[in-house]
Amino acid sequence: MSLRRPPDSESTERNPPSTEAAFQAVPPEMVAEILDGELHVSPRPARPHTNVASNLGILLGAPFRFGRGGPGGWVLLDEPELHFGPRPDKLVPDLAGWRRERLPDAVGGEDAPAYYDLAPDWVCEVLSQSTRRIDKREKMRIYAREGVRYVWQMDPLASSLDIFRLEGKNWLLVDSFVGDESVRAEPFDAIELELALVWSR
């Protein structure tokens, strides 16, 4: 299965000032994103969503961020705000990861912005009823345009993981897992990931 990426655009169109103002006015208990110039506001994740994202971050953090039981070499962040392109598009994935050589200083100095404008190497979107459509469509198109290499889509209610790899202009579905398997999942296939722990409560 592949999801086609639209042709690259040379557009320098900016978000309307009213959209930017509405983005800034969204209360902190909501998640705001601007995708292709349109504001999307969704509630903070429900408990199953938050649980799965937290479990995954814990399981990947030790081996891939800190090199304990794994190769290290990654910066992994929860819910970073990403700004892409001249509009800009503003996205908030559940988790994102950069190879450390591409983002050697993830914190930056006192004047560093709150967002990141360097595309991650990997993002994970935990699907929920309120975000499923934009996670599977608009955000996948933007991630492809920016050259994000891997996207994981996790469904906490179905206990499923779909792994997409960017191949040229297309998303390739590399693997799908359901249930409590122990799996080797790109790009973190240096270790076995126990999905039973990801879904655990």
The confidence score (pLDDT) of residue 11 equals: 57
| Span 28-55, average pLDDT | 92
Q: Is 154 exposed, middle or buried (0-12, 13-18, 19+ CB in 10 A)?
A: buried
One-letter amino acid for residue 164 of the chain: F
pLDDT per residue as tens digits for the range 146-193: 999 999 999 999 999 999 999 998 999 999 999 999 999 999 999 999
Q: Are 158 and 186 in contact (CB under 8 A)?
A: no
CATH number assigned to the domain covering 45-199: 3.90.1570.10
Query: For residue 165, what are its two tokens?
Result: 């790899």
- Check whether 5 has a pLDDT greater than 90: no
Report how far residue 94's alpha carbon sits from residue 92's, in angstroms, rounded to the nearest whole number.
7
